[in-house]
Amino acid sequence: MRMGFRLVLDAEDGIEVVGEAGDGQVAIEQVAALAPDVVLMDVRMPRMNGIEATSALVEAAPDVRVLILTTFDLDEYAFAALRAGASGFLLKDARPAELAEAIRTVAAGDAVVAPRVTRRMLELFADRLPDGQVDTPEDPRLAALTAREREVLVAIAEGLSNAEIASRLYLSEATVKTHVAHVLDKLGVRDRVQAVVVAFQTGLVAP
């Protein structure tokens, strides 16, 4: 599987495979040594699984983006990896062009999980969150948001694109992009995926 990914990615302009790992522990060691921009992370691996490795990587190397690879699109473990700090997930049978585009998107600081897919995952697994806790609507993470930014966060959690949010709130798309950037910054999250997780955790949006 890794050889196949390497062959595909090495053929892409602007993408270089700098290392490989057979388990999560080796992945952490490789990231420390090689400082890649993006890590393609499997979920089920020996010694240390992808969830544990993702959590450790996000903490130790916050500039490294993690893209989870999974065999099916609503993998509970992939969902847990998103909560651990991954920037998205991708099916293992994705076409080469999709794989390359996903890597470029994540490297640019965005997420590759469509908001609607994220919301569906949260609906399915909200009653099985790893920590068993759901925060109250008065969660302090929401305190810094303006009323408009809360509206934008709700719309993101509902799966709306920037264009759809602009239409709903009677704003320009450029203004929506600015609001989204402020929401991410104030929540202390890296992308829309993490923002949606916060929206559900805080009770701002309920499954």
pLDDT in tens, 166-191: 999 999 989 999 999 999 999 988 78
| Residue 188 CB coordination number (10 Å) | 10
CA distance 67 to 87: 6
| Residue 126 counted as domain residue | no
Given this model, what pLDDT does residue 130 score? 44
Of 48, 78, 113, which residue sits at a domain end?
113
CA torsion sign for 33, 34, 37, 42 is: negative
Q: In terms of domains, do 56 and 108 share one?
A: yes
Does a structural domain hold residue 18?
A: yes
DSSP strands (E only) in the chain: 38-42, 65-70, 89-91
Whether 136 has a pLDDT exceeding 60, the answer reads no
Q: Is residue 56 part of a domain?
A: yes
Q: What is the CATH number of the domain that holds 108?
A: 3.40.50.2300
How confident is the model over 122-130, as a mean pLDDT?
56
The pLDDT value given to residue 126: 57
Are residues 165 and 156 in contact, defined by beta-carbon separation less than 8 angstroms? yes
- 91 located within any domain: yes
Q: 35 pairs with which residues across the strands?
A: none
User: Is residue 60 one of the residues assigned to a domain?
Assistant: yes
pLDDT at residue 46 tops 80: yes
Token pair 């694109």: residue: 161
Q: Within this chain, do residues 104 and 6 fall inside the same structural domain, yes or no? A: yes
**Mean pLDDT for all residues in the chain:** 82
Q: Are residues 9 and 77 in the same domain?
A: yes
End-to-end CA distance of the chain: 35
Distance CA 145, CA 202 (A): 13
CA–CA distance from 196 to each of 2, 9, 62, 141, 147 (Å)? 31, 30, 19, 13, 17
* Phi/psi of residue 38, nearest 5 degrees: -135, 140
**Pair 9, 106 in one domain:** yes
What pLDDT is recorded for position 58?
A: 87
Q: Which amino acid is at 6?
A: R
pLDDT band at 205 (very low <50, low <70, confident <90, very high): confident
Residue 154 and residue 57 share a domain = no
Do 91 and 13 lie in a common domain? yes
Q: What is the pLDDT of residues 81-116, one digit of tens each?
A: 777 888 877 777 778 888 898 898 888 777 666 555
Q: What is the pLDDT of residue 31?
A: 94
Give the pLDDT band (50/70/90) at residue 127: low
Share of the chain above pLDDT 70, in %: 82
Query: Any idea what the CATH number is for the domain that residue 175 is in?
Result: 1.10.10.10
DSSP state, residue 24: H
Does residue 74 sit in helix, strand or coil?
A: coil
Whether residue 133 has pLDDT greater than 70: no
Domain that holds residue 11: 2-113
Q: What is the pLDDT of residue 183?
A: 94
Q: What is the pTM of this model?
A: 0.67
**Shared domain check, 193 and 156:** yes
